[in-house]
Amino acid sequence: MLKKGVTIIELLVVAGIFLAMIACLAPFVNMVKVRSQRIDCANNLRKLSLGLHSYALGHKGAFPASLGELYPNYADDRNAFDCPASKTMGTKDKPDYSYKAGLTESSDPREAIAEDLDGNHRKAGRNILRLNGAVEWVRARR
């Protein structure tokens, strides 16, 4: 007689194959998550750049003394002050970015005006916002 159905052994083999596939894909999922956080962080810096330049238009080319002065008139998104890769929630009073005060629109366009705090991206590197609005990723030195 022929029996129809699935044996326990066959079921375990199929489950083992699926678990092996999931284990192989896990590092790629984590890599995509880290990359996504890095891109979101760079986009936040771009939003802050727009706010900084809008602020400077109304203040004779001078940038604010702190990033928090941008909220809510020049940067209305509270999340722009938070780097998604950091362990803490950045706010307008304590952003996840360091800021170089005292610059003006006439300063060197390649000057870094804001960048990630140490540890935002687990020592992999940091996003740097230049005065000209460019955001670049700089890998950490090993």
And the tokens for 62? Answer: 């001078």
pLDDT at 1 over 70: no
CA 36 to chain centre: 7
* 7-29 tens-digit pLDDT: 899 999 999 999 999 999 999 99
- pLDDT value for 7: 86
Q: d(Cα 29, Cα 107) in Å, to the nearest integer?
A: 41
- pLDDT value for 90: 93
And the tokens for 64? Answer: 């604010």
Instruction: Residue 68: count other Cβ atoms within 10 Å of its Cβ.
Output: 15
CA 46 to chain centre: 11
* 91-130 tens-digit pLDDT: 999 999 999 999 999 999 999 999 999 989 988 999 999 9
Number of H helices, E strands in the chain: 1, 4
Q: Place 142 in a pLDDT band, splitting at 50, 70 and 90.
A: low
